[in-house]
Structure 1
Amino acid sequence: MSHEPTTAKQPSHAGEGHLVENVVVFVVIFGAFLLGIYLLNWLTLETVWPMAAIVVISFLAFFIPQGILGRSDTGYNLAEGKQTDEKSTSAAVGS
């Protein structure tokens, strides 16, 4: 028997090794945030389009990082400590 310690690969942190992608996503989402603030200049009780644009931009600013770029479909497995690239349809529910 060997008494050498086994070296298990440590799980990588979220976004580790994806600097360019992280910077691009940050710039796009931050730009959407600044655009939303800028649209507040035209927001009055008579005009509806600035608020509609702000709602759409806000939805995209949350949906893109969390639902498309994130790992929302593997969150259940990661919470249990399972390292997997396999994507399930939903948390703990199989069809």
Structure 2
Amino acid sequence: MSHEANAEKQPSHAGEGHLVENVVVFVLIFGAFLLGIYLLNWLTLETVWPMAAIVVISFLAFFIPQGILGRSDTGYDLAEGKKADEKPTSAAVTS
């Protein structure tokens, strides 16, 4: 019976029920963005470290939301038009 009730339910928004996590991630990534802009003050042709720090911060700003928190494992299936639930996770046992 409970399975039938869940089948009728509409899928929820990806961020629904995760307000605190969404706010924390936004603050961290926006802080990294502001830090990158601040590091541009020291960027000259003689100093290399500000550009290296900006590259690392930029990588983390894209990698953390997309690769760790995002849906990077289901992107291929979603691009093909499949639902995300069809792909088994690595811990799933199929028989």
Deviation of the 1:14 alpha carbon: 1.5
SS of the equivalent of 2:28 reads: helix
* RMSD of equivalent CA atoms: 1.9
Aligned residue in 2 for 1:54: 54
Contact 2:32–2:61 under 8 Å retained in 1:
yes
CA distance in structure 1 between the aligned counterparts of 2:37 and 2:43, rounded to whole angstroms: 10
- Cα distance in 1 between the residues matched to 2:36 and 2:49: 12
In the alignment, the residues of structure 1 paired with residue 88 and residue 60 of structure 2 have an alpha-carbon distance, to the nearest angstrom, of 25
**Given residue 34 of structure 1, which amino acid in structure 2 is its aligned partner?**
L
* Structure 1 counterpart of 2:63, one-letter code: F
Provide the rounded CA distance (Å) in 1 between the counterparts of 2:41 and 2:13: 39
Contact 2:74 2:84 in 1 (8 A): no
Counterpart secondary structure, 1:14: coil
Instruction: Answer whether contact 2:42 2:50 (CA < 8 A) is retained.
Output: yes
Residues 60-75 of structure 1 aligned to structure 2 (within 5 Å): 60-75=60-75
Instruction: Write the distance in 1 (CA, Å) between the matches of 2:82 and 2:25.
Output: 27
- The alignment-based identity, stated in percent, is 87
CA–CA distance in structure 1, aligned partners of residues 15 and 74 of structure 2: 15
CA distance in 1 between counterparts of 2:66 and 2:15 reads 13
Is this contact kept in 2: 1:74–1:87, CA < 8 A? no
Where structure 2 has 5 or more consecutive residues not aligned to the other structure, the ranges are: 1-6, 91-95
> Which structure carries more helix by proportion?
2
- Superposed CA deviations along residues 17-54 of structure 1, whole A, max 9, x for unmatched, are 10000000000000000000000000000000000000
Unpaired runs of 5+ residues, structure 1, are 1-6, 89-95
